[in-house]
Structure 1
Amino acid sequence: MNIQRAGFVGLGLMGAPMAANLARAGWAVTAWNRSPAALEDFRRLGGSAAEAVEQLRDEPVIVFMLPDLAYIEDAAAGLLASWRTSPPAANTAVVVMSSVSPTAVKAFGQKVRAASSGHAVVLDAPVSGGTKGAIDGTLAIMAGADDGADFRRLLPLFEAMGTTVRLLGPLGAGSLAKACNQLVVGTTTAALAEAAELAERSGVDVAALFEVLSGGLGGSRVLDQVGPRIARKDYTPTGPAKFMHKDLTFVVESADAAGAAVPMARAGVGLYAELKRQGLGDQDLAVVRQAISNLSRTGAVSATERTSS
């Protein structure tokens, strides 16, 4: 399979720099995006544009980077219909790099296999590192593939976008790993936001507090990257906070299937549901501080506990 050509679906905050890095690495990338402005920007970087996702049907690999699996299935409907009429070349790879349900992505894999008469395979390869990692090409990529040979064949593609690339297991394992990542990121960010609110209301400088924390056991990449935005109350989007609610819901879903207790994830689902109810979901993840501040002002400190119970 010649994998120096690729289709790319979704040129958002993460997808656009990821596709650009592929093009810079020498890949012939043809992209589709709902917004034509993003396609024009991608053309200026040397990429090509497709008018419809089904026009990517003959690409050896098609990457999807859309907000959730429902968006991917909607975008891929014409593609799968095309394959039902005329199957693609053998070993065509459909790579889901979005944060999606580990259970649902397995079902999507079955749909793709059936529509393509077994000629196309789905891998899940969600990413971590935020927009900075996407721009710098330093993403962590967590992959799931039923056949390790498919993963190895796609390593050059992954390594054009990330520096830490691991095969975690069969299809769905990458999404489970991303769910675990989001459990750590979402709850850590919430803890930092709570610490910031407590410190400020007690007369302690938040930036100074975070500087001290970074030099001790409380230090983390979450503190390094999100902490300054929490301290400044800078909620300019680098990725919508509402997606954390979705991702933590996947943690709970997976935990229920595995019989694992996830009390922190359940509390996080409640908190980020509250954030969305407050109308803050389109702002940066750091806006969880504002959500907590609003709870403090209204005296509704136990609201998230009621939601998560």
Structure 2
Amino acid sequence: MNIAFVGLGIMGSPMAAHLVRAGFTVVGYDVSAERLAALAAIGGKTASGVAEAVAGADVAITMLPDSPQVEEVAFGEDGLLAHAKPGLLYIDASTIKPETSRKVAQEAAARDVGVLDAPVSGGERGAVDGTLSIMVGGRAEDFQAAREILGHLGTTIVHVGPHGAGQTVKAANQLVVGGIYGLVAEAIVLLEASGVDPGPGMDVLAGGLAGSRILDLKRQSMIKREFAPGFRIDLHHKDMGIAVAAAREAGVSLPLTGLVAQLVAAAKAQGHGSLDHSALLKVIERINS
């Protein structure tokens, strides 16, 4: 099976690598020559553009920053839909607006191209380990066709509904993740201000009802103020905008989501956009300084 993979960043590169190791023919494209070289070094093939990557592909996967990039790749004159062969299955793993996913699916259907919106959760660690959680929107038959491929990328793979549903579930995921990061940050600030060693304190929290994947993976690095990006504040800021917009479209009030969105916006405004989203701790510290 030939797979085109467009977008070889922090998440896309290890995902594409898993597919190469699984024996698929993977043709990758990215704007970075360094990332293309890394794919070639492990046995993948590279393309000079989207059209070349998609030519002859049975499946195309994109992992891109935001809706404008997805629309450019999908709808461009030299883009995916213009050069896809009939019967192509297009899996978009980007985190974008639900309405963009629905728009792509509608245009693709006219070209006999199946589409799934399949955003992922688990960060860089999950991408590297192949343990991502993947929430999939689209037709049930396309989901079944993609199941084997997705199984090489994640361990929790769920068909959550029609086109756009995967993106709505991802928005819910991101509001929860942002909220947990904010509360973990506040717990660290409270412990330190009270003269309690946050190391043992957070170890106890991680083993109790307050335990979470974030506490498991990030409590030590947050205590040490190590914020190397696994998922950047800039991207979480974009995702919180999607969550707030989704709430407005659904006609519901999510007050805690609104507060978390403002904290993430503050992190970006304070110049922390390139840091990991655990850098919300910097915002809580600044409030208390």
Q: Provide TM-score, normalisation by structure 2.
A: 0.95
> Once the two structures are superposed, what CA deviation does each residue of 1:85-133 show, in whole Å capped at 9, x if it has no partner?
xx643221221101111122212222334xxx43213210011111111
AA aligned to 1:74 is E
- The answer to whether the Cα contact below 8 Å between 2:30 and 2:36 also exists between their aligned partners in 1 is yes
Deviations 1:155-201 (A, max 9, x none): 11101111111100001111111111111111001110111112212
Secondary structure of 2:61's partner?
Answer: strand
Give the aligned residue type for 1:182.
Answer: Q
Question: Among 158, 172, 176, which residue is 1:180 paired with?
Answer: 172
Secondary structure of the 1:279 match is helix
The residue number in structure 1 matching 2:59 is 61
Residues 67 and 96, structure 2, Cα contact 8 Å, conserved in 1:
yes
For the pair 1:103 / 2:103, whether they are aligned, the reply is no
Equivalent pair of 1:275/1:281 in contact (CA under 8 Å): yes
Aligned twin of 1:203: 195
SS state of the match for residue 30, structure 1? strand
Q: Equivalents in 2 of 1:91, 1:144: separation in Å?
A: 18
- Say whether 1:292 aligns with 2:277: no
| 1:25 lines up with 2:18 in the alignment | no
What secondary structure sits across from 1:237 in the alignment? coil
Residues in 2 aligned to 1:81 and 1:204: alpha-carbon distance in whole angstroms: 55
TM-score normalized by the length of structure 1: 0.89
Aligned 8 A contact 1:126 1:178 in 2: yes
Aligned to 2:11: 14
Structure 1 SS opposite 2:257:
helix
Q: 1:171 aligns with which of 163, 168, 171?
A: 163
Q: How does 1:1-309 map to 2 (within 5 A)?
A: 4-55=1-52, 56-76=54-74, 77-80=76-79, 83=82, 88-113=84-109, 117-145=110-138, 147-297=139-289
User: 3-state DSSP class of the match of 2:96?
Assistant: coil
Once the two structures are TM-superposed, the CA of residue 211 in structure 1 deviates from its matched residue by: 0.7
Give 1:226 shift.
2.0
1:168 aligns to what SS in structure 2?
strand
Q: Give how far 1:224 is off.
A: 0.8
Post-superposition offset of 1:82: 7.0
Distance in 1 (alpha carbons) for counterparts of 2:61 and 2:113 = 13
Question: Offset at 1:80?
Answer: 4.1
CA-CA distance at 1:71 after TM superposition = 1.5
Give the gaps of 5 or more residues in structure 2. none
Q: For the residues of structure 1 that align with 2:232 and 2:84, how far apart are their CA atoms?
A: 35
Question: Aligned equivalents of 1:281 and 1:258: distance in 2?
Answer: 29
Offset of residue 31 of structure 1: 0.2
Cα distance between partner residues in 2 of 1:5 and 1:228? 41
Write out per-residue CA displacement over residues 238-296 of structure 1, whole angstroms, 9 at most, x where no aligned residue. 12122112112211111111122211111111111110000001001111101221222
Between 1:60-69 and 1:100-109, the stretch displaced more is: 100-109
Q: Distance in 2 between matches of 1:169 and 1:216?
A: 33
1:189-242, Cα deviation, whole Å (9 max, x unpaired): 111011111221221211121111112111111111122221111111112122
Change (3 A) 1:122 1:203: same
Question: Unpaired segments of 5 or more residues in structure 1?
Answer: 298-309
CA positional deviation for 1:141: 0.8
**CA contact 1:54–1:82 (8 Å) conserved in 2:** no
> Could you say what secondary structure the match of 1:278 adopts?
helix
- What CA distance in whole angstroms lies between the structure 2 residues aligned with 1:159 and 1:81? 24
